[in-house]
Amino acid sequence: MNYQIITQNQPDVTGTLSGWDRLIFRGCLFMLTYLDGMLTFLRQMGVLLKDYSDWAKSISDAMKQACLAEAQRRNRPVIYLTSSQTRKDETARKILLDKPIAEGLICLFTCLEPCTTYRVRGNRETHRLELRREQTKCLHVYKYWIDSQFGFMGARMQTWFPFNIQVYVNGREWLAHRLDRRGIDYRRDGNCFPWIDDFPTAQKIMNQMQRTNWFHSLNRIQRRMCPGYERRLGDDCYWTAFQTEWATDICFDSVGPLQAIYPPLTRGAITAFGCEDVLRFMNKRRHFEGEIEGDWLRRIEGVRVKHRLGGNHVKAYNKAGSVLRIETTINNPKHFRVFRTAQGDPESEQKWRPMRKSVADMSRRAKVSQQVNDRYAEALGSLDTTTTLIERVAPVCRPIRRRGVRWRALRPWSEEDRRLIEAVSRGEFVTEGFTNGDIASRLYSDKPADAAERARRASRICYRLRLLRAHGLIRKVKDRRRYHVTLKGREIFSAILVSQHATLQQLNALAA
C-alpha cells in the first residue's frame, strides 16, 4: 500500500496491515428456511402434522444434549445467562483467564433469545392443522473455544427448528495464532496490532487467509458445535456471510503523530465528503437508488466517521491511540458485482452478476472491500493536514502567465468559481472524467433556448476549463474531449470545499 497519507507521514508510520477483521457466518438447511420447504422435509421424514410437536421436541432435546456433551465430558463451565444482552465473548475471555487452556473448549452458555420457528396451529375455518412460521423465543446454545485454525472463536445454535447456526470468527485472532507459531513479536490491543516486529511478513501471512476453504472449515465448526447435526437433519449447512469487516490499519510509532493529523482528517471527512464521494468509495454509479448517510461519533479514542450506503458502510477511526483504521463492512453484498455463472447452473455463461451472501463469493468480497478502503484512504490523503488553507489555496488565487498568455486568478469563494469547483469535483467524474457537456448540465438548470445559446454556453465553459488547466488543476485526456482533476487539483479543491461546507457548529464540536 502506497497511500498518499502514508507518504505524507512516512517517518512516523511503522507499517500497515489489511485483512479480515470480524466475520459472522450463518448456516442453515436451505429447505428449512421457508414454509413449503419445511413441509416437504416433514413429508420426507414421514412426520404428520399431528405428531410434529412431540417429534420436534425429541430432535431438539437430542441437539441440546449433543451440544452439551463436550462441556460435560471436559468439565468446562456451562452457564445459563438470564439476559440476552450479556456480552458473551467478553464473559468467555474472562473465563479463559480464570481457567486457561492452550486449545479446546473454553465454556458454554445457554440463553433464551428471540427466534423464528415453526408451530402447528388449528385453522378454525378449514378445521385442519397448519404449519406456520412464528416469532417466539427458544433456548440458544453458545460455545467458545480455542480453535486450531482460527484461535479464539465462538458459535451459536438455535435449539429448535430450523436449528440455524451462527459462527463468529476474527481475522486478527487468526493472524495472532500464526504469528505465535512463527515466533514473530507483536503488541496487541484488542483486535488490532499497534506494533509488529515484521509488518511485511505479517501481511503475507494475513493474505493467506484468502485461501481458506470456507465450506470445509465451517462444516468442521458445525460438527464441533453440534455433533450429529447433519445425521439428524439429513444434510450439511448452507453457509452465508452475514456480516464481514475488512480493516486497513496504518500504524504510527506513537500516539503523538496520529493525534496531530487525526482531527483535520475527521473534520475534512465530515465536511468535504458528500453523497457522490460515498458512491465513488463503494464503486456505485450515479443512478443508485437508496439512502446515503454519514455521521460522526465521539468515542474515548477520538471521533469516528462513518458513511453508509445500502446497508454497507465505510468508516475511519483511531485504535489504541496510534492506529488509523479504515474499515469496510458489508451486510448487503448485492450492491457489488462478481464475475460468475448463474446460481445453480455451473454450465451457464460467466458474466458480471450481483454478489451473493454465499461464502462462495468470499474472495471477491475481500477484493471489493480492499478497493473501498483504498479509495477512502486516497480521499483522506487529499485532505492535507499539515498545510494551512491559505498556503494551499494562495498559488491559484494569483494571476499567472502560461506561454505568453495571462490567466486571471481563481476566486474560489465567488459564486461563479465556487460552482465550477463543485461541478468538476463531483464523485462520478473521478474515474470517468468529465466533458464540457457534463459541466454545462451542472452549471445551468435550464436547457438552452437555441443552438446559438448552446454555443455561447459551451464557449464560456471551454474558457473556464482552460483556466483550470492553466493553473494545473485539471488535465485533458489525449485525443479526447474529456478531462480529469489532477492530484494538485484534488488537494486544492478538497481544501476549498472543506472551508466552504464546514459549519461553525461542526468545527467547534471537533475542536472541543
- Which positions ≥6 away from 465 have C-beta within 8 Å? 436, 439, 474, 483
Segments of 75-127 assigned E as strands: 78-81, 104-123
Query: Residue 274: what pLDDT?
Result: 60
C-alpha to C-alpha distance for 128 and 480, rounded to whole angstroms: 72
What is the tens place of the pLDDT at every residue in 266-325?
766 766 666 556 666 776 654 555 555 666 666 655 678 888 888 899 999 999 889 999
* Between 511 and 108, residue with greater pLDDT: 108
Amino acid letter for position 422: E
Collapse the DSSP code of 482 into the 3-class scheme (helix H, G, I; strand E, B; otherwise coil) and give the result: coil
- Which positions ≥6 away from 142 have C-beta within 8 Å? 88, 108, 109, 110, 111, 154, 155, 156
What is the tens place of the pLDDT at every residue in 178-205?
999 999 999 999 899 999 999 999 999 9
pLDDT band (50, 70, 90) for residue 425: confident
Query: Residue 4: what pLDDT?
Result: 81
- H or E, element range at 216: helix 214-225
Q: Please determine, for residue 162, whether its predicted confidence score (pLDDT) is greater than 70.
A: yes
Average pLDDT over residues 254-258: 91
C-alpha to C-alpha distance for 495 and 392, rounded to whole angstroms: 8
Query: Residue 508: what pLDDT?
Result: 56
What is the tens place of the pLDDT at every residue in 223-236?
999 998 888 887 77
Average pLDDT over residues 408-412: 91
- Domains in the chain: ranges and CATH: 1-25+170-209+240-386 (no CATH), 30-162 (no CATH), 389-502 (1.10.10.10)
User: In this structure, what are the phi and psi dihedrals at residue 298, rounded to the nearest 5 degrees?
Assistant: -85, 115
Which ranges of 338-450 would DSSP assign to H, the alpha helix? 362-381, 389-393, 415-424, 429-432, 436-443
- H or E, element range at 192: strand 192-196
Q: Please determine, for residue 14, whether its predicted confidence score (pLDDT) is greater than 80.
A: yes
Collapse the DSSP code of 130 into the 3-class scheme (helix H, G, I; strand E, B; otherwise coil) and give the result: strand
- H or E, element range at 466: helix 451-470
Whether the Cβ atoms of residue 474 and residue 485 lie closer than 8 Å to each other: yes
Query: Residue 367: what pLDDT?
Result: 95
User: In this structure, what are the phi and psi dihedrals at residue 312, rounded to the nearest 5 degrees?
Assistant: -110, 160
C-alpha to C-alpha distance for 326 and 378, rounded to whole angstroms: 11
Query: Residue 231: what pLDDT?
Result: 82
Query: Residue 512: what pLDDT?
Result: 52
Its pTM stands at 0.77
What is the tens place of the pLDDT at every residue in 101-128?
999 999 999 999 999 999 999 998 998 9
Q: Among 45, 104, 96, 116, which Cα is nearest to 74's?
A: 104
Query: Residue 327: what pLDDT?
Result: 95
Q: Tell whether the torsion through CA atoms of 492, 493, 499 and 503 is positive or negative.
A: negative
Query: Residue 393: what pLDDT?
Result: 85
Q: Among 400, 398, 399, 442, which Cα is nearest to 420's?
A: 442
Q: Please determine, for residue 430, whether its predicted confidence score (pLDDT) is greater than 80.
A: no
Query: Residue 385: what pLDDT?
Result: 54
User: In this structure, what are the phi and psi dihedrals at residue 404, rounded to the nearest 5 degrees?
Assistant: 80, 0
Burial class (CB in 10 A: 0-12, 13-18, 19+), 38: buried
Amino acid letter for position 284: K
Give me 498's grid cell: 472543506
Query: Residue 467: what pLDDT?
Result: 94
C-alpha to C-alpha distance for 99 and 108, rounded to whole angstroms: 13
Q: Residue holding cell 479464539?
A: 152
Weakest-pLDDT range from 29-38, 427-436, 448-457, 484-493: 427-436
Q: Among 173, 228, 236, which Cα is nearest to 205's?
A: 173
Q: Percentage of the chain surpassing pLDDT 70?
A: 88
**Cβ neighbours, 10 Å, residue 17:** 23
* Between 414 and 383, residue with greater pLDDT: 414
**Cβ neighbours, 10 Å, residue 53:** 11
Q: Across the chain, how many H-helices and E-strands are there?
A: 18, 19
pLDDT band (50, 70, 90) for residue 381: confident
Enumerate the β-bridge partners of residue 195: 187
C-alpha to C-alpha distance for 114 and 135, rounded to whole angstroms: 7
Query: Residue 269: what pLDDT?
Result: 73
- Which positions ≥6 away from 347 have C-beta within 8 Å? 341
Give me 152's grid cell: 479464539
Q: Give 286-328 as a 3 state SS string.
A: CCCCCCEEEEEEECCCCEEEEEEECCEEEEEEEECCCEEEEEE
pLDDT band (50, 70, 90) for residue 168: very high
Alpha-carbon separation of residue 46 from 31, 40, 121, 133, 357 (angstroms) = 16, 10, 19, 20, 32
Q: Please determine, for residue 465, whether its predicted confidence score (pLDDT) is greater than 90.
A: yes
Q: Among 6, 81, 434, 23, which Cα is nearest to 241's?
A: 23
